[in-house]
Amino acid sequence: MKVIRPICTADLDVLHQIAIDTGPGFTSLPDNRELLEKRIAATEKALVKETEPSHPDHYLFVMEETDTGEVVGTCGIDSAVGMTAPFYHYRIGTVVHASRELNVHNSFRTLYLCNDYTGCSEMCTLYLQPEARHSANGSLLSKSRFLFMAEHPQRFADKVIAELRGFTNDNGESPFWDGLGKRFFSMEYSTADYLTGSGNKVFIAELMPKHSIYIHLLPDSAQAVIGKVHPNTEPARRMLESEGFRYEEYVDIFDGGPTLSTRLGDIRAIHSSRYQKVAIGDVDNDGPEFLLSNTGLADFRCTKSCIDTRGSISTITQATADALQVSAGDTLRIVELKGRST
């Protein structure tokens, strides 16, 4: 059985290996052991203090196999981005050039550097080892964060975003970066990606163009990937869209990947979740799977399972109760694993 829990210091080695495995383009998880150690410490600190939405806390979780203790994935939430360092995007807009005398009217799509998502909460750092990408484990890993946010909404902003990894080729090269960013930064994509992932973002403000960029002047290869995701990220995009996230014409400044956004209360797994009392017994496994979580903070646990529900009571197996660290009579938060936002 897979269970989601907050990360701890003992997970540093496996988190570092995940950072290596993800490769270029995974900005939120750089191959930097010291920085990863600090992020684990930030999670442990955030989980034991009172906080508020405007405070930039970092929450990192891992997926663990209960039988072996093996960690096979990670996911995170930043409660408020851009509060300690600028948070950049390109906003896609339109500029019109027209001349009545010449009967010419041209519309051009543009990229404009902005900080519009400052203060939003961000879904980040989602990665599942390839051998675990089955049996809806990806949905569990990603959506577990929604039950955590539903239980502790005061810790997060009203608006939630998710930056999706943009397209890179088999060599880890970004057509968008090669067609735009490299012309201003004079460095390879992997270097710029590593620097920003390590928190060194001053160079962005120093070197990025200050005026709108006309998209039609970029190479065709760069234009073609604006708003496109890496093939491995397609399932994550579909999942987020099924939960209510939408693309609002904002893209990453390095790889051109799309940023999706929604309101906290509009996320399906949040507004559709409900409390149930725990009963322990045999369960019919023919029904739909549910996301189940306890109501903890530092001891938060989330898993997926079929359940038998009657009224305000849900029956779960002893193995599920053990994974969630709950007993008969305790309270669970539950929501159907699959569903579409209305």
Tell me which residues are annotated as active site: 230
Q: What are the residue ranges of helices labelled H in the chain?
A: 12-22, 33-46, 137-151, 175-176, 182-185, 189-197, 202-207, 220-223, 234-242, 268-271, 318-324
What sign results for the dihedral spanned by CA atoms 39, 43, 49, 52? Answer: positive
Task: Return the C-alpha torsion angle 162, 167, 172, 173, nearest 10.
Answer: -120
| Tokens 């009172």, residue located | 50
What is the rounded CA–CA span in Å between residue 142 and residue 20? 20
Task: Return the C-alpha torsion angle 264, 269, 272, 277, nearest 10.
Answer: -120
